[in-house]
A and B are shown apart, each in its own frame.
Chain A
Amino acid sequence: MKFTTLLTSAAMALGLASGAMAEDKTKVGFVYVGPVGDGGWTYEHNKGRLAVEEHFGDKVETVFVESVPEGPDAERVMTQMALEGADLIFTTSFGYMDPTINVAKKFPNVKFEHATGYKTADNVSVYSARFYEGRAVQGHIAGKMTESDIIGYIGSYPIPEVIRGINSAYVHAKKVNPDVEFKIVWAYTWFDPAKEADAATVLIEQGADVILQHTDSTAPQAAAQEAGNVITFGQASDMSEYAPHPRVSSIIDNWAPYYIARTQAVIDGSWATVNTWDGIAEGMVEIGEISDSVPADVKEEALALKAAMAAGEYHPFTGPLKKQDGSDWLAEGETADDGTLAGMNFYVEGLEGEIPQ
């Protein structure tokens, strides 16, 4: 416990020091799981960081460390940021959950924000986006546009967030195309261009002419471009360099408003623990421009679907829906509750294969 005291006193000394410097800058740290140039997940978080810098100008200083492995290394990086006087630290990957909680305990005066996790504390908030709303739009376009009726899906890890996306895309593809079939490949990585390219190639060879991805690199886009008649969707970031074909639309994670709001809360002293899960309505999930490769009527329907979700009129998981094993899940008109969605570990009826266990 001596160590904790030591750290705390160091933190307090720092807190005092920065307090003494009065209008000193608020320091915001970001811990990234990938390189800022990944063109996907980390790229968008970094855009959020840059937006914070732009918004607050001289009042805020930001620091970041990229490509931090999930585990003891992450804990060290967070500790280091806290020691060096960060007031607010965003830890932007699910695997940073336990390290964030551990470090937060040692620095009660520093605020932490953990992305996509579920453990909160007095100084730890969690935040995530309802990506599955974007998946609904993708599923709709994919179901309309596939000619082979085979849609390939590159999964990262079989965790609830990814399974939710698969289910949402499948439900909406099936709705417009009853013959549609999903082929799912698990890449077991968030970012590995070589593996992602392999996965895309395998799916294309199996007849998929639409590729959906839950991994962060643009490698699947490149593979689709090479194959020619395959369409894709940008993941986490717009990936517009592959527009208008193969990339026909995208899900964009827009963290900037949240990061600015939370930084403001720290400056104002009004920061409190929250559990944020925002979607299209709040602007945290955006749909990238639907390109001209998509027929006008399909585009119109997709935009209408998006508008309905933004207005809160439509929930992507609305009954009647059954689970894969045929058991009832949602009755006619019933919508899924957040608790079930947060821990979703089952496929909906019609999907083939098993979730790796």
Chain B
Amino acid sequence: MIVLEKRPQPSKAWSYATPLVAVVATMVFGGILFAILGKNPVEAIGTIFWEPLFGEFAFYYRPQLLVKGAPLVLIAIGLSLGFRAGIWNIGAEGQYIMGAIFGAGAGLAFYPLDAWYVFPIMVIAGAFGGWLWAMIPAFLKVRFGTNEILVSLMLVYVAEQMLASVSLGLLKNPEGFGFPGSRNLQSYESAHNAELIAGSGMHWGVVTALVAVIFAYILLNRHMLGFHIRLTGEAPRAAKFAGVNPARLILFCLGLSGALAGLAGMFEVSGPSGVVSIDFNVGYGFTAIIVAFLGRLHPVGILLAGGLMALTYIGGEIAQSQLGLPAAAIQVFQGMLLFFLLAFDLLTNYRIRAARSEVA
């Protein structure tokens, strides 16, 4: 008989080991999946993890890792603060969309003015858009005690409709022959979030993501507010005695995560994407939830996890075109990562023991 026994204290060792064990397990079971599909598992896994970093065309893929990873990290950092305090913002995708709409909208309002202040205004507008969208569930929770998980999630679908609406109307490119989608911000220099060094993949969104990592680290470890966030998550009653104002904490956590998601959307729309279109959002807001947990809600962990997720996306595409792996198999592979993480997480709080079965 094998029994699970609750640990008196969560195991520190396991909490660090879980992500690594999960990655290894994903490789093993993903390899089995690829083998069943008739592909060489070693080659497939090698392609996914090796090719983007050290393959023949790594000079192109490495910068792309930054482009793909930056929005994930930026959003996940914001989410992790709330998650630590038990405040569950599931609607980052919607805040990401609103950030893009506000940011691009601000930029397009100035079109074709050429001025240095256009881009900073777009940054502020993007953050504001995301913040505003997150304030809805925050306000409803504080005022009426609604569930922020449901409200923030539902608002994603509202944001998607707004996106369709502005792509077809308000922000539609007047020179687009009636097709939906805005002007391309890449060709409007004052609003273009261009690469800071050509070919490096480094745009303002990447810089902001790195700054956010440092900022979150300091907040959590050196600041009273960070202490309150951690305390609320770990010991809600103690937090109350320590004088934590739950309403203020909710507003802060949701607002900040919304603003960061909004920034991610704004940097994406003004840089790599360039266009507000109906299909602008591709799920960064949801994937960031995986990234946040994979990174143990720790800023540095999130940075690494974001890189890993980006790697599986880019490597997955290479595996598709080189080896003919179906896209669905790659998605299963990514899903396994979260699944195994949650499964092995059990070992942080429980230990497995062989118990002698008593004969009755």
Contacts and interface: CB of A to CB of B under 8 A. Distances in A.
Contacts of B282: 69, 71, 73
Interface string B235-274: 0000000000000000000000000000000001000111
Interface centre among A65, A66, A342 (most CB of B within 10 A): A65
A6 B59 contact: yes
Nearest to A93: B279
Contacts of A244: none
Given A72-B273, A98-B184, A67 B169 contact: no
B199 A76 contact: no
Nearest to A33: B279
B175 to A, nearest CB: 11
A273 interface: no
Contact of B327 (A10, A35, A63): A35
Contacts of B280: 71
B32 interface: no
A29 interface: yes
A235 B275 CA distance: 29
B321 A84 contact: yes
B308 interface: no
Contacts of A4: 198
A314 interface: no
Given A157-B278, A159-B178, A342-B177, A83 B60 contact: yes
B326 A157 contact: no
A98 B275 contact: yes
B355 interface: no
Contacts of A118: 177, 179
Contacts of A2: 198-199
A76 B327 contact: no
A345 B327 contact: no
Interface string B291-307: 00000000000000000
A158 B168 contact: yes
Contacts of A321: none
Nearest to B331: A67
Contact of B178 (A76, A79, A344): A344
Interface stretch (B10-18, B80-88, B312-320): B312-320
A120 to B, nearest CB: 13
A94 interface: yes
A2 B198 CA distance: 7
B69 interface: no
Given A2-B199, A35-B327, A71 B322 contact: no
A72 to B, nearest CB: 4
Given A6-B199, A157-B278, A76 B64 contact: yes
B57 interface: yes
Contacts of B184: 98
A95 interface: yes
Interface in A318-357: 342-345, 356-357
A277 interface: no
Nearest to B198: A3
Interface in A144-158: 157-158
A39 interface: no
A158 B282 CA distance: 21
A1 interface: yes
B180 interface: yes
A2 B273 CA distance: 21
A302 to B, nearest CB: 30
Contacts of B67: 72
Contact of A66 (B60, B68, B178, B320): B320
Contacts of B60: 7, 10, 79-80, 83
Nearest to A1: B198
Contacts of A29: 321
B328 interface: yes
Contacts of A15: none
B334 interface: no
Nearest to A156: B278
B328 A35 contact: yes
Given A70-B279, A71-B277, A95-B279, A3 B199 contact: yes
Interface in B308-359: 313-314, 317-318, 320-322, 324, 326-328
Given A6-B59, A69-B282, A81 B179 contact: no
A302 B176 CA distance: 35
Interface string A13-54: 000000000000000010000011000000000000000000
A256 interface: no
Interface string A84-104: 100000000011001000100
Contact of B180 (A6, A67, A73, A159): A159
Given A35-B328, A66-B326, A72-B273, A159 B179 contact: yes
A137 interface: no
B136 interface: no
A159 B278 CA distance: 11
A250 B23 CA distance: 47
Contacts of B219: none
Most buried by B among A2, A3, A75, A356: A3
A64 interface: yes
Given A71-B277, A95-B279, A160 B177 contact: yes
20 contacts: A6-B199, A63-B321, A65-B317, A66-B320, A67-B328, A69-B282, A71-B282, A72-B273, A80-B60, A80-B318, A80-B321, A84-B322, A98-B274, A118-B179, A157-B168, A158-B168, A159-B179, A343-B178, A345-B178, A357-B168
Given A64-B321, A83-B57, A94-B179, 8 more contacts: A2-B199, A36-B326, A63-B324, A70-B277, A80-B317, A95-B279, A118-B179, A343-B177
9 shortest interchain CB distances as A-B pairs = A3-B199, A72-B272, A345-B178, A69-B282, A67-B327, A63-B321, A343-B177, A65-B320, A66-B327
